[in-house]
Chains A and B, each alone.
Chain A
Amino acid sequence: MELRKSKAQIRNKTKEILLWGGSFLGLFLFLLLLNTTAYKNNYAYNELLMLGEKVMLVFHGSPPRLENLGFVYPPLMYLFVLILQNPFISSAFVGASSASLLLFSTFKAYKIGRIPLIVAFSVLLYTLASPASLFLLSEHQSLCLFACVFLQLVHHLYRYCRYQYTIDLLLFGMVTAFLFFIRFQAILLIPLLILPFLTTKERQSTGQKMSIIIIAFFPSIFFLSGWSYINWVFMKEPFYFFRAWLSSTGSTIGWNPAGDWYGATVYLIDRIKDLAPLVLPVAVAVVRQWKIGYRKCRVTPSILAAPFVLIWADAISGVIHEHSMSYSILFLLAALSFWTHVPVEEKMPWIDRLFALTLIVSLIFSWVIPADKHREEHAFRQALIRPIEDSSVSHARAIVKHIRPTGLVLIDDTRGFPIVFVEGNAKRFVLPYQYEYETVLSAPQFFVDYVIVYSGRGKTPAQDRVAGRWPEALFGYLPGFRFVGHFGDFILYERMESLIEKAGFLSAP
C-alpha cells in the first residue's frame, strides 16, 4: 500500500515537473521569439541594449570592463546576461521563469481552493495576452526579475505571519536583501515592510519583536553597508554606486531633473492617474481586506502600498518611467498575492468575480490606453508586426552602415550604448573607461576615423563627453571631420583625411 502510494506520488510529481518544465520551455521560446522579432524590426528596450553592451565590454572590451558590474550597477540585474552572454536570451529566460512561477503559484492556489477558477484563468489570460505583461516578460528584464523576487518576499512574509516558521523569516530577510541587488531603491521598502512586524496581534515581548525585526532586515542592512564599504574602498565614495546607477538609469529610462519630495509626490499622483484603469484590481483587494479584517499581522496594506513606494522612490531619486506601463504589473501582483495567500472562512464569490472582472478590464485597457502614455509598449507592439523607423536601434543601424569596417570610433557610451551593441565589436570604439580616452578626446583627428556626438538635451544630467569637449560639434562642426548626418539624437562625423584616403589622393602613384 505504502509502496503504491509512493509510486503514485512520484508519478504525480513527475507529471507536475514535466508540465511546468514544458510550460517554461514553451514560454521561453515564445518570449525569445517576441524580443528577437522586435529587435529584427528595430526595437529593443534601452535597458536590454545597455545590458548587452556592458556584458560585451566584460568579454570583448579592451581592456575588459568587469568592475562596472560590481560597483556601479546592481549585480543581480546583470547576472543572467553575464551568464548567458545575450540580453535577449537572458530576458526571455528571466521572463519565462517569472511567468512559470506566477502561473504555478496561481494554479496551486486554485487547487487548494484559495482562488476560484475564474481568477486563475484571468491571470493566465493577462499574462499571455496583455502588452504590459508581454513587454515586461520579454524586454524589461530588471523589473521582471524584481517582480519575481518581490513575489517570493510576499510569499514568505505571509507565511511567516501565518505559521511563524523561522525558515520563512530567514528567507524573507534574504529575499528582501536580494531586492537591493536588483534595484538599489528597494532599500526604501524597509520602513514599509517593518509595519507588519510592529503591528502584529501575536503576543510578543519587546525583545522578541526586536529580534524578529533584526532577523528580517539584518541582511538588507548588512548588504547595504557591505556595498558602501566596497565602493568606499575602490571608488573612494561610499554611495558612488547609487549616484552612478541613477545617472546610468537616467540615460536608459528617463530622468526627472526636479526629483524632490514634492515633485516626486506629484509625479506619483500623475502616474497613478495614468495607470488607474490598469490597477483597478488593487481597489478590489482593498475592499476585500476591509471586509475580512486582520487576523495576526497587517501584511496586506504593506504589500499593496509597496509599488506606490517604489514609484515614489524612483521619482525622488530622479528616475522616471512615464513611457512604460510595466509598473502596473507590480500592483496586480501585490493584489493577486493577497488572494493566493489569505484564505477567507466565509466565501465571497462576488468579490472573486469582481477581481477577475477588473483583471479583464485591466487587460483590455492595456491594449487601448493612448500610445503617448506607454510609448515603449506601443513601439514593441508595432515592431512585432513591421519594422519601425524612429527608434534607437534603427538609428544605431543607420550609423553602423556608414562606418567602414576598419574605422575606429570615438563615442561616449553613456548615451551611445545602442550603437556599440548594434555594431557588435567593442574593439572598434574608444570609450570613456579606457585609459587613452582623454588623449583621443583632446585631438580626435589624430586617432579615430569617426566621432559620434549625442545631441539630445534635457533628458539626462549625464552630459555627452564628446559634446562637452567639442560644443561646436552639436552644430555640425568638428575640426578635421566632415559632418555626415543626424541619426535620431546622434550626429556622425567622418575624418577628412579618411575621405582623402577613400578618394585615393594619398595612394601611391
Chain B
Amino acid sequence: MNYFNATENFITRMFTLEYSYLFDYLLPGLDRLRLPIPLGGTSNHFKVEYLKQLGRWDPFNVTEDADLGIRAAAHGMTVGVINSTTYEEANSRYWNWIRQRSRWIKGYMQTSLVYNRHPIRMLRILGFKQWISFQLFVTGTPFLFLSVPIVWSVFIYWLVTQTKIFDPFLPPLVVYWGLFNLLGGNFLGVYLNMIAIFRRRLHFLMPYSLLNPFYWLGFHSVAAYKALWQLFSKPFYWEKTQHGITKVKSANS
C-alpha cells in the first residue's frame, strides 16, 4: 500500500515515508521470517473457509484486521504479502490524522490485552519466535509511542540543565545503554525510511526522513495518549476518519 497524495503537505509526506517502510520492508520481512503479520485495513484478500475457521474477527476490537492476523498465526495459518501496490488517500489534516491513528493504537492495545490474558498459553500456542514478534510489534508499538515524550523530556532537561538529579537512577551502564539506544534507534528509524523511499523512487521525501523523531513525538505520541485515555473511557468507540479531503486527484479518478 502507498499514497497517491504524498506531495500534498507535511503530514502526507511523513505518512508516505512511514507506509513505504511498513509495506515495502517491514511486512514483507515478517512474511519472509514467517512471523505473525498484523493486517492493515486495505487490500486484504481472504479465503472465506479459513475466515470461518478462525471464527471471523473480533467485532469489539477497533483494529479487527490486526486481530485477525494474530488469530491466523495462533491457528497455524500464514498471512502472505503480495507484490502489488494499492494507492490510497493519506490523511492530510492533523486532528483527522490523530483520530485515525488513536483508533489504530487503541486497537493494538486491545489486541495485546486480549492475547496476553494467558501469556504462557499464548506462548505455547504461537511458539517463542512468533510470540516475541507479537509482543514487540503489537504490544511494543503503543508502549514505544507512550514512552517517547517521557524519555525525550528527561533527555532534553538533562541536556539543557546538566542536572545531577537523575544520577541515582541512572548508573553508568544504563546511561551508556540509553545513549546507544538514542543514537542507534534514531539512526535506524531514519535510515530505514530513507531506504524505503529510495526503493520507491520518492526522492523528494529524502530530507523529510530526518524529521522522523519529530513525527513520532508530535504525532504518534499524541495519538497514543489519546488512545490510552479512550481505552478506559470509550474502549469500543470507533473514531471515524474523514476521507476524501485531499486536493490531489488519484490516478484512478
Q: Name A's B-contacting residues (CB within 8 A).
A: 66, 70, 166, 169-170, 173, 205, 207-208, 210-212, 214-215, 218-219, 222-223, 226, 229-230, 233
What is B's interface to A at a CB cutoff of 8 Å? 159, 172, 176, 179, 183, 187, 190-191, 194-195, 197-199, 201, 203-204, 206
Complex CA gap A242/B201 in Å reads 37
Q: Are B204 and A230 in contact (CB under 8 A)?
A: no
Cβ contact of B206, chosen from A211, A219, A222, A233, cutoff 8 A? A211
From known contacts A210-B206, A211-B206, A226-B187, infer whether A218 and B194 are also in contact, taking CB-CB under 8 Å: yes
List B contacts of A166 (CB < 8 A): 195, 198-199
List 11 additional A-B contacts (Cβ < 8 Å) besides A166-B195, A211-B206.
Answer: A205-B203, A215-B194, A215-B198, A218-B194, A219-B187, A222-B190, A222-B191, A223-B187, A226-B183, A226-B187, A233-B159
Do B198 and A222 touch across chains, with their CB atoms under 8 A apart?
no
A307 to B150, CA, bound (A): 47
Do B203 and A208 touch (CB < 8 A)? yes
Contacts of B198 in A (CB 8 A): 166, 169, 211-212, 215
B90–chain A nearest beta-carbon distance, Å: 20
Q: Which residues of B contact A215 (CB under 8 A)?
A: 194-195, 198
CB pair B203–A218 under 8 Å, yes or no, is no
Task: Count A-B pairs with CB separation below 8 Å.
Answer: 43
Known contacts A215-B194, A215-B198; decide if A207 and B204 are in contact (CB<8 Å). yes
The 8 residue pairs across chains A and B that have the minimum distance between CB atoms: A207-B203, A226-B183, A211-B203, A211-B206, A222-B187, A166-B199, A211-B198, A208-B203
Neighbour of A230 across the interface among B179, B194, B203, CB < 8 A: B179
> A207 to nearest B CB, angstroms?
4
The distance from the CB of A78 to the nearest CB of chain B, in whole angstroms, is 15
Closest Cβ–Cβ distance, residue A215 to chain B (whole Å) = 6
CB within 8 Å for A170 and B195 given contacts A70-B176, A207-B204, A210-B203: yes
Which residues of chain A come closer than 8 Å to B159, judged between CB atoms? 233
16 A-B Cβ contacts within 8 A? A166-B195, A166-B199, A207-B206, A208-B201, A210-B203, A211-B194, A211-B203, A211-B206, A212-B198, A214-B206, A215-B194, A215-B195, A218-B191, A222-B187, A226-B183, A229-B183
CB contacts (< 8 Å) of B197 on chain A: these are 211
| Residues on A with beta carbons closer than 8 Å to the beta carbon of B201 | 208
Which residues in B have their C-beta under 8 angstroms from that of A173?
Answer: 191
- Whole-angstrom distance between the alpha carbons of A222 and B212 in the complex? 15
B167 to chain A, nearest CB (A): 14
CB of A235, distance to nearest CB on chain B (Å)? 13
A66, B175: Cα distance in complex, Å: 13
**Which residues of the other chain, A, contact B206 by a CB distance below 8 angstroms?**
207, 210-211, 214
With A and B bound together, what is the CA distance between A233 and B179 in angstroms?
11
User: Which partner residue on chain B sits nearest A225 by CB separation?
Assistant: B183
Query: Once the chains are docked, how many angstroms separate the CA of A229 from the CA of B197?
Result: 28
Distance (whole angstroms) from the CB of B212 to the closest CB of chain A: 13
> B residues within 8 A CB of A205?
203
Interface centre among B187, B190, B203 (most CB of A within 10 A): B203
B13 to chain A, nearest CB (A): 14
Report the nearest B residue to A230, measured CB to CB: B179
- Shortest A498–chain B CB gap in Å is 37
